[in-house]
Amino acid sequence: MPLPTPFGVFDARAFQGDSGHFHLALVLGEVAGRTEVPTRIHSECLTGDAFASLRCDCGVQLRLALRVVAARGYGVVLYAIGQEGRGIGLVNKLRSYIEQDAGADTCDANLRLGLPVDSRGYGESAAVLRALGVASVRLLTNNPLKVEGLRAAGVTVSSTESLATTPHARNLAYLRTKEQRLGHVKPTGEVVGDDALAGTSPAIDTTQLIGAVRPRPDRPYVVLKFAQTLDGRIATSTGDARWISGEAERTISHALRAMCDAVLVGVGTVVQDDPQLTVRMVPGVSPMRVVLDSTLRVGDTARILQPDAPTLIVTTSRSRPERRARLEAHGVRLELVAPGPDGVDLASALRELRADGVQSLLVEGGAKVITSMLSAAVVDRLIVSVAPTIIGCGTDAVGPLGVTRVSDGIRLTNRAMHVLSDDVLLSWDVGIASRGLHDGHDR
Ligand SMILES: NC(=O)c1ccc[n+]([C@@H]2O[C@H](COP(=O)([O-])OP(=O)(O)OC[C@H]3O[C@@H](n4cnc5c(N)ncnc54)[C@H](OP(=O)(O)O)[C@@H]3O)[C@@H](O)[C@H]2O)c1
């Protein structure tokens, strides 16, 4: 029967195997008698596929597979029900998460529970492919054991194609374990480097840029990122910032978003740039969007209000109640915190985010937010891209910090540097200023 999806109209067929479990085959185009049929054997993962859990990469992989098959115009996505948690089932998978939170990796967690690391068989998937008449497959997977299993079950796997996803700080250890202990090939895509975007995978691994994510009790791990011209501006004097950096650098920005729980800007950037702040240029999950907006200046048609990702606006009692109600009606979450000298009180805003479960926060500007974050010494990692452009006066990347002597500046350590097409990408750990930066500075 036809199953319309945003990726295309698939022919959905259900098959029941000897185990009693069903396989749902989503077939696109003519596959009978064809060779090199793009094929994904996707093990059911209710938490990842349906609820977008960030513990795994399953939901992103499933949608990526549907997209790849749709792009080729033919292929099979075979959804293997009953293979939840590499075969241990949903409840045991939740139990294994408890073990993982206590320090075990995804393999040892199963072993600690007396369960196999991977108990999946591929005989029933092979039978479905035979029933569909597929002559040979181009298997969409990073998992060599799946290739072996299908071959052992009689399927001709003529080639494989990576299904790497851009990692999230929360699934990174899981993906590394799959790579190191289960032999998965580059599940996190290409590592950022001089030739990151020349690789075959659209996924980008920004772990080196982000550094070790260590949230504090009172705030998330904060990564501050901006793109500046060679002369230190993040926008022209009219506020234009599109685009300071090139496409390669902007792709990295999307991968950084995909790595974090939330991405934050000030309302000035929303009003000026109307950004979407979603992940579009790499396969990955869009984070929660956070806007600091003390009086709710954000416009009704702002793109961050669109439902493609969750949005949280941090505001104060200075915003009008009817405006709050209207935004809530848009499905936007509002958090009321104390006012501060720059709008909302930054420490309270970060504390609320942490209390809401945000562990990693990417701050994308603009100038006032960059300045107040650095001023408050709440930045753990700084990522700056420098573009080969000089624009003269404009918006300085960083405003007044009250530093009068160079030796009192904020110390940056552990520099990493990458060349991306024309841009240079620099990242550092951020130390605290050798003397406290003043607050209440004139802005
Ligand atoms: N090149 C880049 O990487 C990049 C990135 C982003 C933006 N930009 C550019 O930066 C410019 C916008 O900069 P901007 O300074 O006007 O905007 P911004 O920093 O995004 O927003 C500043 C506004 O946020 C609100 N806010 C609330 N609490 C705050 C706090 N604790 N600290 C700081 N701000 C707080 C304030 O408005 P209320 O008082 O009304 O709450 C403040 O005026 C645009 O031209 C944009 O294109 C460039």
Question: In the chain, what are the domain boundaries?
Answer: 2-83+120-188, 205-442
| Any atom of ligand 1 within 6 Å of the Cβ of 423 | no
Q: Taking the model in full, what pTM does it have? A: 0.94
**Which pLDDT does position 200 carry in this prediction?**
65
- Supply the CATH classification number for the domain 205-442: 3.40.430.10
Parts of the chain with a pLDDT under 70:
193-200, 432-443
pLDDT at residue 431, rounded to an integer? 80
Which atom of ligand 1 is the closest one to the Cα of 234?
1
Q: Are 150 and 172 in contact (CB under 8 A)?
A: no
Nearest protein CA to atom 9 of ligand 1, as residue: 366
Q: Which fold has domain 2-83+120-188?
A: Rossmann fold (3.40.50)
Atom 27, ligand 1: which residue's CA is nearest? 343
Is 49 in the active site?
Answer: no
State whether the beta carbon of 249 lies less than 6 angstroms from ligand 1.
no
Residue 438: the pLDDT is 46
| Annotated catalytic residue, options 49, 55, 57, 118 | 118
How much is the pLDDT for 198? 60
Q: What is the pLDDT of residue 434?
A: 47
Distance 226 CA to ligand 1 centre (A): 12
Catalytic one of 40, 55, 86, 120: 120
Q: How far apart are CA 25 and CA 81, in angstroms?
A: 11
Q: Tell me, what's the pLDDT at 196?
A: 55
How far is ligand 1, taken at its centre, from the CA of residue 286, in Å? 21
Q: Is position 120 annotated as part of the catalytic site?
A: yes
